[in-house]
Amino acid sequence: MAGKDFTALKKKRELDIVRMIYREDHNPIKEDHAENPDFLLFNVFKKYVFGVEITELYRNESSARLKKIAGYVDELVEHGKYRHKDDIGELTVDEIEILDEAGNTTSAFKGVMQKLPDLAGFVGILESYIREKEEKLAHYSMEARFHNLLIYDTEDYFASLKIEDLYGSIFNGSVQQAIQYSRFREIYLIGKINDEMRYIPLKAYCLYAYAHQFEGFYNATIGTPISVAEHILMFIGVLSKTGLSTASVHRTDTFIAVSYGDLSIRIDLVDHPAASCFLFNRDIDYSDGQPVDAFAAGLSIGSDIASQFERHQAEHTFHSSFSFVVEPKKAGERPNLDGKED
């Protein structure tokens, strides 16, 4: 019975995380689905099924057991009883003192202490979670049009960071590669950021950052006036050679759109040829598009341009507070869209 209760609680907790992103009236759960992925949701507007996989981000397995097993803290504090041998080195019972402003002890009690990983270590844990889920993706339901990954920061580790520092640590090196090469349509990082519950569509952010970085690169390095169509085609060519080759391009006689995750950048070629539009939408239709690398095969974008862009990326940090507020019962979430390079 205890096993069934734990499974039911786990499923409820996962569903609560789902509802931080997807409204129940817009995306009801497909009830006859078991696992792989955790949930199948139905899009009532577009009339298709998609998959959602949930993972909770812990600093290690010992921390996960401490939070998931009811009464484990009391077992450790009162009886020194460890549930797993690995917990002995990770969970330590010690005296915790509460100090006033003058540094005097006002109260003391026994509690469980844990080692806190540094930022690089915790980001490494995030990367390992993404890669672990990626390996299982091939076994997910074929009924789903696509699958999304939701990662919930159970530890509130990122709550103490400025969001700009968070981006600087995530979009750097191997963890960025894990995000960019993932076959999940979108990867959401959910948790307390800047003292409120927010979520970040990580793949959309990749495209968003690339677009801003490309503008900085073009103005600083090239600068020669070219048409809007040539400009966006150069951007697409750079994407194909620098890590976003799986983005999608949709071209008509009137516009060109580049889509990745939940973001589509649309360039109007007729009515407003000088403007670009950033469209954030979980229902982007990729069916009429083609991968960036296939589209770019016919473009004459040299590897030297791509190399110059990568050097620009390495030399200039992109700062942004791009994120969405978690409002599971309200419509019209709005992202922060500011950003700058230095």
Q: Is residue 169 domain-shared with residue 288, that is, in the same domain?
A: no
Give alpha helix (H) positions in 174-219.
174-180, 202-217
Whole-angstrom CA distances from 52 to 7, 33, 149, 187, 285 are 18, 12, 6, 10, 18
Q: Is residue 190 domain-shared with residue 217, that is, in the same domain?
A: no
Q: Which residue has the tokens 């077992």?
A: 75
What is d(CA 203, CA 185) in angstroms, rounded to the nearest whole number? 8
**Domain assignment of residue 333, yes or no:** no
Q: Which residue has the tokens 């700058």?
A: 340
Q: Is residue 164 domain-shared with residue 273, that is, in the same domain?
A: no
Residues 6+ apart with CB under 8 A from 207: 244, 247, 258, 259, 260, 261, 263, 265
Tokens of 105: 């002890």
pLDDT of residue 35: 81
- By residue range, what is the domain housing residue 108? 70-114
Half-sphere exposure of 304 (CA within 13 A, CB side): 3
pLDDT of residue 127: 92
CA angle (52, 53, 59) in 5-degree steps: 145
> What mean pLDDT do residues 144-165 have?
86
Tokens of 264: 């589509």
pLDDT, tens digit, 9 for 90 and up, residues 210-269 = 998 998 998 888 877 777 788 888 899 989 888 788 899 999 888 899 999 999 998 888
What is d(CA 141, CA 123) in angstroms, rounded to the nearest whole number? 29
pLDDT, tens digit, 9 for 90 and up, residues 173-194 = 788 889 998 999 999 999 988 7
Instruction: Work out the pLDDT band at 339, boundaries 50, 70, 90.
Output: very low
Comparing 85 with 55, the larger pLDDT belongs to: 55
Model pTM? Answer: 0.83
pLDDT of residue 3: 56
Q: Per the structure, how many domains does the chain have?
A: 3
Q: Is residue 259 domain-shared with residue 124, that is, in the same domain?
A: no
207, 262 Cβ separation under 8 angstroms = no
Instruction: Work out the pLDDT band at 302, boundaries 50, 70, 90.
Output: low
319, 164 Cβ separation under 8 angstroms = yes
**Domain assignment of residue 64, yes or no:** no
What is d(CA 225, CA 219) in angstroms, rounded to the nearest whole number? 10
Q: What is the residue type of 181?
A: Y
**Domain assignment of residue 175, yes or no:** yes
Q: Is residue 220 domain-shared with residue 282, that is, in the same domain?
A: yes
What is d(CA 273, CA 235) in angstroms, rounded to the nearest whole number? 16
Q: Is residue 36 domain-shared with residue 136, that is, in the same domain?
A: yes
Residue 321's closest CA among 179, 162, 175? 162
> What mean pLDDT do residues 110-122 have?
77
**Mean pLDDT score of the chain:** 82
Q: Is residue 97 domain-shared with residue 144, that is, in the same domain?
A: no
Q: Which residue has the tokens 């039911």?
A: 8
pLDDT, tens digit, 9 for 90 and up, residues 10-54 = 888 899 999 999 999 999 999 888 788 999 999 999 999 999 999
pLDDT of residue 303: 73
